[in-house]
Amino acid sequence: MKSTVNEIRQRFDQDVERFSNLETGQSATIDAPLVLDLITRTAAAVNPGATRALDVGCGAGNYTLKLLEVLPDLEVDLVDLSLPMLERARQRIANVTARAGRGFQGDIRDLGFEDGRYDIVVAAASLHHLRSEEEWASVFAKLYHALRPGGSIWISDLIEHSNPKVQALMWERYGEYLAKLKGESYRNDVFAYIEKEDTPRSLMFQIDLLRKTGFRNIEILHKNSVFAAFGGVK
C-alpha cells in the first residue's frame, strides 16, 4: 500500500530544512541546481512579461525565489501539502519581495484555480505523488486551464522508464549517485520512501499527456537517469 496523503504530509512537515537550500536544491534529486536554473530561466524567456505564477508543491520556496531573481515583479501563488513548508516558503519570499502571492495548503487534486489567472506554472518534485491515470489527466487539465493563452508550464520530477531493463539500469545509476552523495544508508532511506510514497510515470507518458491536454511547443529541457525537466506552452 502506498502512503496516504496525510502520511506524506507528515513526512514533509518534518523535512523542511532539506528543502531550504537555494544553492543545492533537494540533494536527492540529480542535477537539482542545474534544473532549478534551467526551468526558471526558460520560464522567463518564454513569458518575459509574466505578472503571475503558480508554484505547485512549492516546498520551502526555492523555485519561486529563483523565478524572482529573473522576474522580480512576479506575484507567485504557492501550493504545498505541508503547512510548515508553506510557512517557510512565504517567510523566505517575503524577504525579497513585497508582492507575495497567496498560499494554499492542500492537495493539488482538491484545489481549484481561476481560469486564465497565471502566466507560468512550475511543479517541482510534486506530481509523482499522483496515482491513477485519471488523477494525472485531471491535474494536467486543471493547470492548463489555470494558465492564460501563451502561458507555460514547467515540470521537474522523478520519472520511470517503460522498458524494465532500462529502468533497472537507470535505478542502479541513481543508487550509485545517492551512495556517493551520503552513503549506502542514505541511499536505502531514499529508496524506501520512494517505494512507499511515489508513483512516477514515464517522461513520454507526461509529454503525451501535455499534448492531449492542449499544450503546444513541448520542450524537454534536461534528463539524467530517473529525473527530467520539461514543459510546454498553452
pLDDT band at 25 (very low <50, low <70, confident <90, very high): low
Of the listed ranges 95-104, 127-136, 164-173, the least confidently predicted one is: 95-104
Q: Has residue 1 got a pLDDT over 90?
A: no
What gap in Å lies between CA 89 and CA 20, rounded to an integer? 8
Give the per-residue pLDDT at 16: 79
DSSP 45-73: HH-TT--EEEEET-TTSHHHHHHHHH-TT
What gap in Å lies between CA 53 and CA 39, rounded to an integer? 13
Give the per-residue pLDDT at 109: 96
Give the per-residue pLDDT at 180: 96
Domain 5-158+199-233 has CATH 3.40.50.1000: no
For residue range 44-84, what is the model confidence (pLDDT) as tens digits?
999 999 999 999 999 999 999 999 999 999 999 999 999 99
Q: Indicate the pTM of the whole model.
A: 0.95
Domain boundaries, the chain: 5-158+199-233
Give the per-residue pLDDT at 91: 93
